[in-house]
Amino acid sequence: MRLPSIRQLQYLQAVVSLRHFAQAAERCHVTQSTLSTGIQELEGLLGAQLLERSKRKVLPTPLGLAMADKAEQLLSLAAQMVEEAQQDRPLLSGPLRLGVIPTIGPFLLPQVLPSVRERFPQLELYLVEAESAVLLKKLEEGDLDCAIFALPYELGRMESQVFASETFWVALPKGHRLASGGPIAPAQLVDDELLLLEEGHCLRDHALSACHRRDLQQKAAFQGTSLYTLIEMVAGGQGITFLPNMAVNSALMQHKDIELRPLAEAGPHRELALVWRKEYYRKVDLEALTACLSELLENGV
Amino acid sequence: MRLPSIRQLQYLQAVVSLRHFAQAAERCHVTQSTLSTGIQELEGLLGAQLLERSKRKVLPTPLGLAMADKAEQLLSLAAQMVEEAQQDRPLLSGPLRLGVIPTIGPFLLPQVLPSVRERFPQLELYLVEAESAVLLKKLEEGDLDCAIFALPYELGRMESQVFASETFWVALPKGHRLASGGPIAPAQLVDDELLLLEEGHCLRDHALSACHRRDLQQKAAFQGTSLYTLIEMVAGGQGITFLPNMAVNSALMQHKDIELRPLAEAGPHRELALVWRKEYYRKVDLEALTACLSELLENGV
DNA sequence: TCTCATTAATCGATTTTTCCTATTAATTAT
DNA sequence: ATAATTAATAGGAAAAATCGATTAATGAGA
């Protein structure tokens, strides 16, 4: 079905409300001739007469009136569209779907979200906690706007912005031979059972990388489902593990049967980054968010 | 404010629903290139991004989704317009504003309207009774669709169609010298006081014309406001008058103190016609109406 | 890792549409 | 009668929409 054009509807609306071709043309910023042919085309398209014309009067037919009415609705809808689109939203307002990996979420978010919410009160955050691979998939599918990852991680076509660095700590059972003293070098731990999160957590790879080990086929019983369970296993004397800075500082990680020592290995051991599709339509917002996070973490929140 | 075009909205609707430029282009019967630039123009117009594009995926932004939604509404409204306009109404259906002069209305309408309504059950008649000049004005202003006049009458730019002819009868008080016998010639009435309707009624002119008299400045007290009052005046012996056929046949005009004789004057004395603007948009309906009236009157209803 | 296929964007040319100027025909007002 | 007003029309110019071909990015498969 061939539809009338917006222009034609504007012509109709004008001529029905003014009852005068020349005046209507002026309102539409076209010549009388243009408007005249426009109306004729509309009538042809609709297959019905919309106006009675004489040299002295322009008289809408009942159908013309009805059509003008609908045209008005339609035009106002179109105008609404433009208005709605053109009002530029303030930075970081409206819905934002943010993914976080489980080894960051519980430690970072309680720390920073109150300030973020205070700074951007119109922001509506929808949080999703999942492993990196899942988040990456959701990002690609458009189910998330952005996500917080721990790097290094293969991000594919995503863009990212690092907003914090972390070093690792060694978590030892109380009474371990290295339990007191200064930083611990990876070489000192070769004889210890290294407890890791189950497959899929990037922290597993980062930890291995920090102590220059290859991946080891651990028994499922020795794989933690979360840092909390891992800590319990360390406290139980089943081995040692590495914890990121952020977890160490968290009150949730305090445990009376655990000793913590810095890992003596140069450079940051993982970096926290905000990640998004490179086609994402509001990168400025995300850049503002990373700036905000970075600032909050530098100032110790 | 510059508005988006219908075409652009179709493009948006298609690409958002299909998530694919080439397929959307096919649905819109244009090339991918055309659709692509169309969407870009729309985005430029709205000043906002509607889609995230990558080579593997087309992802509407929240605004894009909202706009596509509105676009759909708008397009369906436009389609509705076309549909509504294109369904052709049956003959003589819907509202019709019909004017009638007072010397016809009360006699003709009760006679014909039942049959008309029966024949065109979807017709919604709005009746206006007024003198010819008033009806003509209303016709010109578009306040009426058509009107029933008695001719001759100067109709200006109107078109008309005669559907009946009438001869006049002479109404005499009982006991008048001409009260019995055959038809009466105008010359026989020169000595009688001729009673007429007040200024404005065309019957006044038609009556004068029928007896070849010039207009006479009658005293207001001798001018009737309706045929009923005129008849009462005749019955009271104040003079004579002329009545059209139709009124004579009407039961309303029976009066014991009146005698009626045909006027012996060649040809019809007035003609009944349906009148409309020559620009009127549904002349076929009116032609059907005159045909119907004409037929009804010929067959004696 | 290297093609090959797919996809949206881009460019230049062409067609289509839109629009304007000038004029006409009908009508009204003076 | 004469001038002014009005909507329609014709012809040409300007603007736009569209197409075909190409490009660059990406993903799939060998």
> Sorting pLDDT into bands at 50, 70 and 90, what band is B292?
very high
Mean pLDDT of B89-99: 93
Query: Measured between CB atoms, does A44 come within 8 Å of chain B?
Result: no
Q: What confidence score (pLDDT) does residue A41 get?
A: 94
> Is A280's pLDDT higher than 80?
yes
Q: What confidence score (pLDDT) does residue B301 get?
A: 53
Q: What confidence score (pLDDT) does residue A301 get?
A: 53
Of B4, B54, B81, the CB nearest to A4: B81
Using the Cα atoms of residue B220, residue B224, residue B229 and residue B234 in order, give the sign of their dihedral: positive
> Is A268's pLDDT higher than 80?
no
Contact B123, B96 (CB under 8 A): yes
| Euclidean distance between CA atoms B190 and B213, whole angstroms | 9
Task: Give the pLDDT confidence of B151-168 residue by residue, as tens digits.
Answer: 999 888 899 999 999 999
| Euclidean distance between CA atoms A86 and B46, whole angstroms | 6
Same domain, A280 and A132: yes
Question: Of the ranges A72-76, A90-94, A144-148, A258-262, which one carries the lowest mean pLDDT score?
Answer: A258-262
Contact B146, B276 (CB under 8 A): yes
We report the CATH number of the domain holding residue A31 as 1.10.10.10
A34 touches strand D (CB under 7 A): no
Instruction: Specify the number of domains making up chain B.
Output: 3
Which residues in A lie closer than 8 A to residue B79 (C-beta atoms)? 1, 3
Query: Measured between CB atoms, does B187 come within 8 Å of chain A?
Result: no
Q: Is A134 part of a structural domain of the chain? A: yes
| Euclidean distance between CA atoms B219 and B177, whole angstroms | 25
Of B63, B82, B142, the CB nearest to A3: B82
Q: Is B34 part of a structural domain of the chain? A: yes
Domain end point (choices A66, A86, A106): A86
Same domain, B250 and B276: no
Burial class of residue A121 (count of CB atoms within 10 Å of its CB; 0-12, 13-18, 19+): exposed
Q: Is A13 part of a structural domain of the chain? A: yes
Query: Measured between CB atoms, does A74 come within 8 Å of chain B?
Result: yes
Q: Cβ separation of B2 and A82 shorter than 8 Å?
A: yes
> Is B174's pLDDT higher than 70?
yes
Of A59, A61, A279, the CB nearest to B52: A279
Same domain, A72 and A193: no
Q: Is A1 part of a structural domain of the chain? A: no
> Sorting pLDDT into bands at 50, 70 and 90, what band is B10?
very high
We report the CATH number of the domain holding residue A195 as 3.40.190.10
| Euclidean distance between CA atoms B131 and B205, whole angstroms | 13
For residue A110, CA distances in Å to A20, A22, A81, A165 come to: 67, 67, 39, 18
Same domain, B79 and B111: no
Same domain, A160 and A204: no
Q: What confidence score (pLDDT) does residue B247 get?
A: 87
> Is B214's pLDDT higher than 90?
no
Query: Measured between CB atoms, does A79 come within 8 Å of chain B?
Result: yes
Chain B contacts in chain A segment 140-179 (CB below 8 A): 140-142, 157
> Sorting pLDDT into bands at 50, 70 and 90, what band is A252?
low
Q: Is B1 part of a structural domain of the chain? A: no
The residues, ordered by sequence, that sit 6+ positions from B207 with a Cβ below 8 Å of its Cβ are B168, B194, B196, B241, B242
| Euclidean distance between CA atoms B68 and B46, whole angstroms | 13
DSSP-derived pairing of the beta strands B168-173 and A258-262: unpaired
| Euclidean distance between CA atoms B239 and A225, whole angstroms | 118
Task: Give the pLDDT confidence of B233-251 residue by residue, as tens digits.
Answer: 888 888 889 999 888 888 7
pLDDT above 70 covers a percentage of chain A that reads 97
Question: Which run of H or of E encompasses A128?
Answer: strand A123-129
Distance B56 CA to D30 C1' (A): 21
Q: Cβ separation of B1 and A280 shorter than 8 Å?
A: no
B216-223 LR contacts (CB < 8 Å, sep 24+): B222/B193, B222/B195, B222/B196, B223/B195, B223/B196, B223/B197, B223/B198, B223/B199
Distance B27 CA to D25 C1' (A): 25
Collapsing DSSP to helix, strand or coil, A96 comes out as strand
Task: Give the pLDDT confidence of B20-78 residue by residue, as tens digits.
Answer: 999 999 999 999 999 999 999 999 999 999 999 988 889 999 999 999 999 999 999 99
Question: For residue B128, which phi and psi values (nearest 5 degrees)?
Answer: -130, 125
Residues 40-59 of B with CB within 7 A of strand C: 40, 51, 53, 55-56, 58
| Euclidean distance between CA atoms A38 and A42, whole angstroms | 6
Chain C bases having any atom below 7 Å from a protein CB? 6-12, 18-22, 25-29
Distance A40 CA to D9 C1' (A): 12
Q: Is B254 part of a structural domain of the chain? A: yes
| Euclidean distance between CA atoms B179 and A91, whole angstroms | 101
Query: Measured between CB atoms, does A277 come within 8 Å of chain B?
Result: yes
A55 touches strand D (CB under 7 A): yes
Same domain, B192 and B51: no
Same domain, A277 and A157: yes
Q: What is the CA radius of gyration of chain B?
A: 32
Of B1, B53, B140, the CB nearest to A279: B53
Contact A39, A77 (CB under 8 A): no
Same domain, B127 and B186: no
Task: Give the pLDDT confidence of A17-41 residue by residue, as tens digits.
Answer: 999 999 999 999 999 999 999 999 9
A184 DSSP assignment: B
Per-residue b/e over A71-94, b at no fewer than 16 CB within 10 Å?
A: bbebbeebeebbeebeeeeeebee
Same domain, B215 and B179: yes
Which residues in B lie closer than 8 A to residue A47 (C-beta atoms)? 85-86, 88
Q: Is B232 part of a structural domain of the chain? A: yes
Domain end point (choices B29, B61, B86): B86
A222's tokens: 């020795």
Same domain, A79 and A36: yes
Domain that holds residue B217: 168-262
Same domain, B45 and B77: yes
Which residues in A lie closer than 8 A to residue B39 (C-beta atoms)? none
A33 touches strand C (CB under 7 A): yes
Same domain, A212 and A283: no
Q: What is the number of residues in chain B?
A: 301
Domain end point (choices A86, A120, A142): A86
Q: What does the CA dihedral A232, A235, A239, A241 come to, rounded to 10 degrees?
A: 70
A141 DSSP assignment: H
Residue with tokens 């694919």: B20
